[in-house]
Structures are given as C-alpha cells and as structure tokens.
Amino acid sequence: MSAAPGQGNPLPQGDYVAATRHGSLIFTAGMTPRANGRLMFSGPVRRDQPLETWREAVVLACSNALRAARATLAPGEDLAAVLSLTVYVAAEAGFAAHSALADFASQFLKEQLGASGIGSRCAVGVATLPGNAPVEIQMVAAV
C-alpha cells in the first residue's frame, strides 16, 4: 500500500536526512505538511476552528514520515510496526485537543499498516514549528 498524498520522498528542509535506519529500527526526522518541499498548510491551530480543518495537514505530515521510513527499506522488506509517534501541534493559547488531532495520524497509519500502525504516541503543544507549520510528526518504526 502506498503512503499517498505526497509525491516522492520528503525533502529535508535543512542539514539532516529524512530517516535513519539502525538495524531493524527506523527513526524519521520531524515531518511537516509539505508536498514537493512546499509547505501546504500554515499554523497556528486555532481553538475556534473545527478539528477537521487540520485533518489534511496531519495526514500529509504523517504520510511524509511514513514515506521517509519506507524509503529506508530493502526490497522485500516492510514495516512491522510503528513503535512511537510524536505529534507536535503549533496551537494558539487555550487549544486543548492535541490528542484528537493526533488521532488523525493514528487513523491514517492504521489505514496504511493495519493494527501495527498504531503505536505509542505523544501529542505535544508548542508555540511555533519550522516554516510556521501547524503540525510536525516524527516516528520510530520497526522493520
């Protein structure tokens, strides 16, 4: 199954690699909702907007992390599980639904990977993210 909706492998926005593999573990960099290197959504997440407003941004960031992880696989290999997922949310003061936004990422991974797509997770509110992105997602996966 492919990890649409982005195109190609995620492009690093600085001096780092999109994902690093060590043995059977893959660690991705933080991924923002970019397509072809271009930020498609900007923050901050507002508490007066429906959560659904940000679903596409979360899914795009998560698909970038999944594509980065899959790019480290050898032919015939597949991801066995997402072990850890961290969802950073750049939100205005008073926003409290970080976990509900992170559920969009969990749902996407479950669609892509089945039950193994849902691992441990942390949803963190931050003041800002690179490029004024509304979300950034980092994952650790097992081969």
Q: Where are the domains of the chain?
A: 20-142
Q: What is the pTM of this model?
A: 0.91
Residue with the bigger pLDDT between 62 and 11: it is: 62
In the predicted structure, residue 2 carries a pLDDT above the cut 50: no
Give me the CATH topology for the region 20-142.
60s Ribosomal Protein L30; Chain: A; (3.30.1330)
pLDDT per position as a tens digit, 46-78: 999 999 999 999 999 999 999 999 999 999 999
In the predicted structure, residue 11 carries a pLDDT above the cut 80: no
pLDDT at 52 (0 to 100): 97
Between CA 89 and CA 101 the distance in angstroms is 8
